[in-house]
Amino acid sequence: MITEHEIFLTDPSEKAKVIEFLKGFDLTFTGNIDYTMGLYDDGQLIGTGSLGGRVMRDIAISEKYQKKGLTRRIIRNLQGESYRRGVTGNQIFTKPKNVPIFEHMGFKCVAVAEPYAALLEKGTDTLEDYLGRVRAILGTGEGKNRGAIVMNCNPFTLGHRSLVEYAHNNCDEVIIFAVQEDRSIFPFSDRFSLIKQGVRDMKGVEVISGGDFIISNATFPTYFIKGTDELAAQTKLDATVFATRIAPALNITVRFVGEEPTDKTTLAYNNAMREVFAQNGIELKEIPREQKGNQIVSASSVRKALADDDWETVYRMVPKTTLIYLKSPAGQEVIRRIKMTEAFKKMEAEEKAKEEAAVKEAKKE
């Protein structure tokens, strides 16, 4: 008789069994996982599935037990746990070949980025629900030249401001999608507020949450994709969701991004957008990055300056609205966390250097 129960990941031996089981399916058990369940036959793990927020993931069944309706059983268990946690809608990221399996269980395909990945959803808070809410706030944009920008703003800088100004000068309306996932050092509520304050003087510029459908580096689960395909899958699926679903629904004809001369991830995003957008009639405009002296204005430079108490650089790179926030109690708490994070990174780097030096010394002997 096949039984099912929760697997408690706080138990190292139980977690190790799940990791070993998933290796057989070329799946890596990483990222933020809130809940894991297992199917057992006579005490032997034969299937598993997990939840990370509203995302169902790491679904696998031993070959001997496949095509016996057990995938549906795993999905039912994960849905029940989702409801218990107050989540009434789920997403699944999977390989394109698996789309029919989940469609037969009531999931609806949002987008497919061949040959890498597909996104499906079921329940409430779907993409159509999200787009309906946005249209209710902003209107359809019909007959207008409407542009879009996706921003994380960790924190909002003069570089972000410059990009918005360019878009504002070239469009009737601009929608800024603020990346919602709260995994940046600056909390989403603060980032959202900083963006709104930083652009409030620009008529026709609206700031909204990107919800669960602006797929960021933090939110995309790459556990089922290996090696260099991870970045290609993430960027192409993100671009496909935007170009085929979000842009048409909101009459967005152009998206603005900053040029990226150094960061490989951002460069890959820009390249993927250029390719996918061209196939779907969306224009991509890459704008040169704002510079102060010889230094490119960036959120990462601001965070480093804050960690080093280099307020001269901070003053050069952020607008007054961000500066006021940084001086506030909430801002000071974030700065404290930035300094702790940087100190920890430095300590790790020093330890690694010591270990490498010790290995070299041992080889000499």
Q: Whole-angstrom Cα distance, residue 157 to residue 167?
A: 16
The predicted pLDDT at position 224 comes to 56
The amino acid at residue 286 is E
Region 296-324: what's the mean pLDDT? 96
Give the percent of the chain with pLDDT over 90: 70
Average pLDDT over residues 339-360: 87
CA distance linking residue 203 with residue 200, whole number of Å: 8
Q: Is pLDDT of 219 > 60? A: no
Tokens coding 135: 């249209």
Please list the alpha-helical segments (H only) found in 206-307.
229-241, 247-250, 264-279, 299-307
* Residue 223, pLDDT score: 55
Nearest to 6 by CA among 80, 83, 102, 64: 80
Residue 177 CB contacts under 8 Å (≥ 6 apart), including other chains: 148, 149, 150, 151, 208, 209, 210, 214
**pLDDT tens digits along 117-172:** 889 999 998 999 999 999 999 999 999 999 999 999 999 999 999 999 999 999 99
Task: Return the closest-CA partner of residue 190 out of 218, 182, 315.
Answer: 182
Is the sign of the CA dihedral 4, 93, 154, 321 positive or negative?
negative
Strand partners, 35: 51
Decide which of 1.20.59.10, 3.40.50.1000, 3.20.20.140, 3.40.630.30 is the CATH code for 2-87. Answer: 3.40.630.30
Give the pLDDT score at 26: 81
List every span in the chain annotated with CATH 3.40.50.620.
Answer: 127-290
Q: Is residue 262 very low, low, confident or very high in pLDDT (cuts 50, 70, 90)? A: confident
User: What pTM did the predictor assign?
Assistant: 0.86
**Sheet arrangement for strand 173-178:** 205-209, 173-178, 146-151, 252-258, 283-287
* Superfamily covering domain 127-290: HUPs (3.40.50.620)
Asked if the model's pLDDT at residue 215 lies above 90, the reply is: no
Predicted confidence band of residue 29 (pLDDT cuts 50, 70, 90) = confident
d(CA 117, CA 231): 11
Selection from 192-206, 256-270, 342-356 with the highest mean pLDDT: 192-206
Rounded Cα gap, residues 201 and 205, in angstroms = 9
Within its chain, how far is the Cα of 285 from the centroid?
22
Q: Indicate where the chain has its CATH 3.40.630.30 domain(s).
A: 2-87
Residue 215 CB-density burial (10 A; 0-12 exposed, 13-18 middle, 19+ buried): buried
Q: Is 245 helix (H, G, I), strand (E, B) or coil?
A: helix
Supply the pLDDT for residue 225. 56
356 or 21, which is more confident = 21
Yes or no: say if 234 and 242 are a contact pair by the CB < 8 Å rule.
Answer: no
